[in-house]
Amino acid sequence: MSIILRSSVGAFDEAFLRRLPAIEKALTARGLAPSRFLISKDRSLADPPNWDYTIFLDDEFCRVTQPDDITLLDYFDACGRVLDDEAASLHTTDSEYMAANLLRWIELLAVV
């Protein structure tokens, strides 16, 4: 199953939707089921044209503000690559470790 998408402000960009299968494939390669993720897009209180994205993973979530859907996808992918590097250095492929730390990296890199 795919990542679940919700939006209170209209559809996600077509380019985002075309690239989403590659992100889902990368999640699967990390041992994570894409269907465990929900991405919600809402209007941001930050100066336009930013959007607030909430990424849910089961009962956990984190929120980031990005200017557009593609930037969010690039950000999500970059966090996954950081996670891969971290997991490789620890010699782990544990999917629950990967899941918890992916949200942690998304949150950490959002404030940098």
pLDDT at 9: 94
Domain range summary for the chain, segments of one domain joined by +: 4-110
Query: Both tokens of residue 91?
Result: 């010699």
pLDDT per position as a tens digit, 55-73: 998 888 888 999 999 999 9
Chain segment 83-110, per-residue pLDDT in tens: 777 666 666 666 776 777 777 767 765 6
Which CB contacts under 8 angstroms, 24+ apart, belong to 45-52? Answer: 51/9
User: Which tokens sit at 66?
Assistant: 């990005």
User: Of 46-50, 51-55, 74-78, 100-104, which one has max mean pLDDT?
Assistant: 51-55
Residue-level pLDDT at 112 = 44
Cα 81 from Cα 26, distance rounded (Å):
10
So what's the pLDDT on residue 111? 52
The answer, as to whether pTM is greater than 0.85, is: no
Q: Which residue has the higher pLDDT, 105 or 43?
A: 43
Residue-averaged pLDDT of the chain? 84
